[in-house]
A and B are shown apart, each in its own frame.
Chain A
């Protein structure tokens, strides 16, 4: 009969209406500023720069290679490379960012900067209450505000941080192995050269004889 389905549907909505006053479990709303739902691990909002150690500016992993600046789709990253170099965690001399700004109002949280970074130095943060009263300066985040420790990263994204730490450990191990090999090669070359000179010194003797 036409209309029977409508009556059935209206009974269902009436049940919802009355039930929401009786049982609180029906109401799925979280009353936001007072209560917050827990964040899921893969939440991402805005990038930050990872640093190791205690001093944020000395420990920045970023080497100012500017790949993220070029890859950023809305072009919200601005980097100025340093004039001098400093020693990074692997013991190599590297540039560092003299300026590293991200425009919060332009960033679209796509995470492409994180995907392209070869140095595990830019990651996504989960903080989401980023509004500010200053719409010009307040929305331009500089490197001092962006720098956050690796412990912070481990706390919010444990799985990703472990993978990142693993990748870095492999890099360090590789660098150490290479350094060791270099040292060995150098020692060997030195030894070879020594042997050669020694041989050179010893071989002419019969000729003169």
Chain B
């Protein structure tokens, strides 16, 4: 029986071994890079196709309708039909648009969305680039998507697109802070920026529970804050103001059609998968199995199982929550999430310095609960400003 856990790693080494005598060392290195990259370029877009149909069917069921059910068995071939439709549609470029930037924006968005997978450990020994500062790389490359979004909104020369891009940049800049600070807590505890090492730090067991950071008070709070910020970073409902259909139609990609439009969707889902993957790596134990008895299931299967679970959670929240208003969005980021992540850093420090035992659960847990009750209580809001009134939008 082959070792299922390492099957892909062994396959790559076997292929390279076959080619060793034939190719020179530099060519061999190129083949090795391609063998690492091509699976990522295939697996995640396939997951995107599966996730779109799951999302449409799930949202349909949440709204008491069937969802797509015509193409193929139970409508599961719908992504293929969507892809063909996107390919054969006319590619429209507005006359006033900056044509080069208009073309570059979706390309940059997709490239940055793919680049972050380089540091993501999707299984034991399965990471393309084991960087010492992998987490930093992830956030640095991920921040480039803001640029692509603004390029799209600016190049089209359409007021809705520009409004959407402005909203997108304001939102992404605001939520980048809680996103990064909530993962800094993990870096403080593990003392490393390397993602495979963060996964290794969570591979032990505490009683029957795994040592995942989500099962600690600071990790639980950090996970929730990370997921909310990830939701906002990916421009998904309830944080989909940049593409709010009811007021600015499609936001920054309003004038995109055909395959460029599909690229925007691909990039949106790819960055969502990537950021879910980072959430799994930081808080949900990465590719580790939850119980020692379940380790016969390969590590990469655990990673994708956790990824699909998190995606279902995202679909569920999308089907539940209405879109926020711009001021609510900013209030949530600056008045609740940023103070909470800062307190979470203190809680992580308390956890570290109190030492093992019951006391660290009590101190860091109590701090977070008190902070949540205080920051989340409407009674503690400033009263002297008065209720916001709207002259034109009542």
**Which residues on A are within 8 Å of B, measured CB to CB?**
1-3, 6, 9-10, 12-14, 16-17, 19-21, 26-29, 31
Interface residues in B351-367 by Cβ distance below 8 A to A read none
- B interface SS class: helix
Complex contact B321–A17 (CB within 8 A): no
Complex contact A1–B376 (CB within 8 A): yes
Complex contact B320–A17 (CB within 8 A): no
Q: Which of A17, A29, A31 contacts B62 (CB 8 A)?
A: A17
Given A20-B61, A20-B64, A26-B64, the answer on whether A10 and B376 have CB atoms closer than 8 Å is: no
Q: Is B124 an interface residue (CB 8 A)?
A: no
Question: Which B residue sits closest to A3, measured CB to CB?
Answer: B376
Q: How many residues of B contact A (CB 8 A)?
A: 18
Complex contact B377–A2 (CB within 8 A): yes
- A interface SS class: helix
B382 to chain A, nearest CB (A): 16
Complex contact B66–A10 (CB within 8 A): no
In whole angstroms, how far apart are the Cα atoms of A19 and B375 in the complex? 36
In whole angstroms, how far apart are the Cα atoms of A143 and B270 in the complex? 57
Complex contact B372–A10 (CB within 8 A): no
In whole angstroms, how far apart are the Cα atoms of A1 and B58 in the complex? 29
Question: Which B residue sits closest to A33, measured CB to CB?
Answer: B70
Q: Which of A1, A2, A6, A26 contacts B321 (CB 8 A)?
A: A6
Question: Which B residue sits closest to A26, measured CB to CB?
Answer: B64
Cβ of B317: which chain A residues have Cβ within 8 Å of it?
6, 10
Q: Which of B319, B320, B336 contacts A2 (CB 8 A)?
A: B336
Q: Which of B64, B319, B377 contacts A27 (CB 8 A)?
A: B64
Complex contact B376–A29 (CB within 8 A): no
Instruction: Please name 12 further chain A to chain B contacts, defined as beta carbons within 8 Å, in addition to the given A1-B376, A2-B372, A16-B63, sorted by A numbering.
Output: A1-B377, A2-B336, A3-B376, A6-B317, A6-B320, A10-B317, A16-B64, A17-B61, A17-B319, A19-B64, A20-B65, A29-B65
Complex contact A14–B316 (CB within 8 A): yes
